[in-house]
Structures are given as C-alpha cells and as structure tokens.
Amino acid sequence: MSGAIHRPDPRPEDAGMSEPRTPRHFAAILFLVYLALLVWLVMWKFETPWIGNDFDRQIKLVPFIAAGAFGASRPLEVLANVVIFVPFGVYLALLAPSWPWWRTALVAAAASTGLEIGQYAFAVGSTDVTDVIVNAGGALVGFALASRTRRMRRTQGRLGADDLARARIVRLCTIGTVVALAVTAVVVASPLQFTPADTGPLMHERVRGG
C-alpha cells in the first residue's frame, strides 16, 4: 500500500477564482483609453485641441425636430452618436455587472451631458439635447449586448461560464480599442480635416489674422 496521499484535483471554480480580477482590471484600462478617445472625438473631431469664440456657441434644447435656427437631426449623425456610446455600455456591464439598466443610462447621460457642456464651454461645437438622448440609448445597447452574452454562457451550464464570457468580451473590447487607436493615428497623420470650413483652429487663425 503506497504511503502517498491522494489529493483531489482542485475544482474548476476554485482554480479560476482569481481569474476574474485580471479581465476586470484590464477592462478598466481599456475603458480609460476609450474615454480619452471619446472626449477627443466629440470635442475636437481628432484634431488639435483648440478653443473657439463666443459666436461659435450654440444650444439646441428641442431634440430631433427642427426648432428655431436649428434643423432636424440628421439620421446619420443620430446613428453615429448611438454607435460611439455602445462601448460605454459594454464597459459598464463588465466593470459593474450588478448595475440595473437605468443606472447605466443615467451614467451615460451624465457623461454625455458633460461632453455637451464642454463643447459649449470651449465653443467647439453645438450643444444638442438630442446627443444626450441617443448617447444614453447607445450605452444601453452595449449594456444589453454584454449582459445577454453573459446570460447565454450561463444557460449553457458550464462552470465558470460568466468568467469566460467576461474574458471574451474583454478580448473583443481589446481588439476594438486597438483598431480605434490605429484609426486615430491614421486620421491624425492624414491631411484630412473633419470640421466644417467655417469652424476649427484654421478658421480662427484667419479671423485673428484679418
């Protein structure tokens, strides 16, 4: 009879107990990178940061439809504002999985409101209530997609399915963030200008120069 003591193999859930921390910490870093890109995109359209003049400040308080001197919201702009906030909801679902949907919507709306206030303060774009609404909607789409992915993994009955789903979402976010950084580098290095001809730093240089 052997004197060796048989030790049972560690259970899968015990062996992977420390794994969730790494994806979540990495997701937090990716979220910060995304936020930096988001601020740069919304405020300055990937151009060199600049400050406008008082006549550049515009506020549209009526969402979607034409009001006063403002026209109706263009569908492509609305769609773009939804898409750019989808990662916001995905990251919140990873970092705060216990949050209800309405808290995600509130945080996204608050972040969008901050960006709109920043545009007004720096006079770098129009402040539009429509953007706050559709940005919050985009975040909810991302939050729902990430939450559904976790639920699908859970219903498969596999041990550690929630952790596996989180790791896969983080992997997708990593790819998306790397692609976004690459596109940003290309945009910054290109001679293309994405601000209208009567706005931006070049226009203000002409105004100051007469």
58-60/126-128 β-pairing: parallel
Compute the distance between CA of residue 125 and CA of residue 119 in angstroms, rounded to an integer: 5
Q: Quick one: pLDDT band at residue 200, thresholds 50, 70, 90? A: low
Distances (CA, A) of 93 to 90, 113, 160, 165, 174: 5, 20, 17, 12, 15
Q: Which residue has the higher pLDDT, 125 or 193?
A: 125
- With 0-12 / 13-18 / 19 or more C-beta atoms within 10 angstroms meaning exposed / middle / buried, residue 186 is exposed
The pLDDT value recorded for residue 139 is 94
Distances (CA, A) of 50 to 53, 79, 112, 115: 10, 26, 20, 15
Q: Supply the range of the domain harboring residue 160.
A: 21-189
Q: Please report whether residue 181 resides in a domain.
A: yes
The pLDDT value recorded for residue 189 is 64
Q: Please report whether residue 196 resides in a domain.
A: no
Q: Please report whether residue 115 resides in a domain.
A: yes
Name the 3-class secondary structure at 70: strand
Q: What is the mean pLDDT of the chain?
A: 78
Q: Please report whether residue 200 resides in a domain.
A: no
Q: Please report whether residue 164 resides in a domain.
A: yes
Quick: pLDDT tens for 154-171: 665 554 566 666 777 777
The pLDDT value recorded for residue 151 is 72
DSSP output for 98-113: T--HHHHHHHHHHHHH
Distances (CA, A) of 63 to 12, 16, 60, 87, 89: 51, 48, 7, 23, 22
Q: Please report whether residue 203 resides in a domain.
A: no
Quick: pLDDT tens for 2-21: 555 555 555 444 444 444 45
Question: % helix / strand / coil in the chain, to the nearest 5?
Answer: 65, 5, 30
Closest CA to 121 of 70, 73, 72, 51: 51
Into how many domains does the chain fold? Answer: 1
Q: Please report whether residue 202 resides in a domain.
A: no
Name the 3-class secondary structure at 60: strand
The pLDDT value recorded for residue 187 is 64
Average pLDDT over residues 85-112: 94
Q: Which residue has the higher pLDDT, 19 or 126?
A: 126
Q: Please report whether residue 197 resides in a domain.
A: no
The pLDDT value recorded for residue 104 is 96
Average pLDDT over residues 119-133: 93
